[in-house]
Amino acid sequence: WEDVDTYIFTEECRENLLEEKDLEKDLDDAIEQGQFKVYLQPKVCMENKRATRAEALVRWQHPTRGFLTPGAFVPIFERAHKIGRVDLNLFEQTVEKINEWLERGITPPIVSCNVSKEVFVHNDIWDRYFDILERNTKACPYLELELTESVAYTNFAQVEEVLSRIHEYGCGCSMDDFGKDYSNFNALIQLPFDLVKMDKCLFDDGFPEQTQRTKFLEDIMTVFKHMGLEVVAEGIEREEQVVALEKMDCDYIQGYYYSPPVSIEEYERNWLQR
């Protein structure tokens, strides 16, 4: 009975639920009408200071609610088991853009798309992914999939199979948000990831000022190197952090220090290599 108030269905709960249901209903239209937009955030290569990689992050240009960032709808579609359709839609748009860049004679960055846990529950979604890769072989070397460590944690055998198929097409894969939840070293050892993305929480305010933490992160990066993984540091905002990461031999930096996620038009203006 102590927790009884947790279960009271208040007016606020009701409104939230109705709003969730509303957004869910908008999904078909959103996909059909191209309301999901690909935003790109550069991952700057420390060796040559170029944005040789980028991450595709979804934004929703909603007809009545305005411009929505993932926090406002990704968790809702996750709960509704519909996020796979959003992931796939973003992936399709990314492939199209890479094809367009290739046709224009531009060397595209390697663009990573987020794949949520849900995609591993519905095998038919993977068939769609493989189908797209099959039909777009020229784009494959410029594609990467980001899986969170919780994905690898829950569906080990399946992830293994999917990753090896992805590799057959020449497409890469990274473990996203390492250090945030489980920090699953076992998955990193057993599964053929190409890169590991160290979560921004590891680099929050104390980095690089707290020498113990910085030393720890440096050692972790050395371990990743020994495992043959390239390292991306996420959420880097300050110059001192960039300097420290360069000293630590970090491969890529992604964060507001270089750029927030930007529209494709802005990415083309500021980051695309010609």
Question: Alpha helix locations (H) across the chain?
Answer: 11-25, 27-32, 74-79, 83-103, 123-135, 149-154, 156-168, 185-190, 211-226, 239-247, 264-270
Q: Does 116 bind Mg ion (CB under 5 A)?
A: no
Residue from 177, 194, 230, 251 in contact with Mg ion (CB under 5 A): 177
Compare residues 176 and 194 and give the one whose CB is closer to Mg ion: 176
> For Mg ion, which is the closer residue by CB, 202 or 272?
202
Q: Which one of residues 89, 114, 116, 254 is an interface residue with Mg ion (CB under 5 A)?
A: 114
Q: Which of 16, 33, 69, 164 binds ligand C2E (CB under 6 A)?
A: 69
Helical H segments across 139-237, by residue range: 149-154, 156-168, 185-190, 211-226
Task: Return the one option of Mg ion, ligand C2E, none that residue 237 interacts with (CB less than 5 to 8 A, by type).
Answer: ligand C2E
Give the residue from 172, 88, 99, 89 showing the smallest Cα distance to 136.
Answer: 99
Under 8 Å CB-to-CB from 70, ≥6 apart: which residues? 57, 58, 59
Q: Which of 94, 114, 136, 241 binds ligand C2E (CB under 6 A)?
A: 114
- Site mask, Mg ion, residues 186-215, x = CB under 5 A? -------------x----------------
Sign of the four-CA dihedral 28, 31, 33, 36: positive
CB of 236 to ligand C2E, least distance (A): 6
User: Taking the complex as a whole, how short is the minimal distance between the CB of residue 234 and ligand C2E, in angstroms?
Assistant: 6
Report the distance separating Cα 150 and Cα 180, nearest Å.
10
Q: Considering only the stretches 128-136, 155-163, 214-222, 253-261, report the one whose residues sit in contact with ligand C2E under the rule CB under 6 A.
A: 253-261
57 binds ligand C2E (CB under 6 A): yes
Nearest to 163 by CA among 132, 122, 124, 129: 129
Amino acid at 233: A
Among Mg ion, ligand C2E, none, partner that 232 touches (CB below 5 to 8 angstroms by kind) = none
The amino acid sitting at 196 is: V
β partners of residue 173 = 145
| Neighbouring residues of 126: CB distance < 8 A, sequence distance ≥ 6 | 119, 120, 162
Q: Please, which of residues 173-212 interact with ligand C2E by CB under 6 A?
A: 176-177, 200
Structure tokens that stand for 194 in this block: 């190409």
Site stretch for Mg ion (CB under 5 A), options 26-34, 75-83, 170-178, 182-190: 170-178
Q: Which residues bind ligand C2E (CB under 6 A)?
A: 41, 57-58, 69-71, 74, 83, 86-87, 90, 114, 116, 176-177, 200, 235-237, 254-256, 261
Q: Which residues bind Mg ion (CB under 5 A)?
A: 114, 146, 176-177, 199
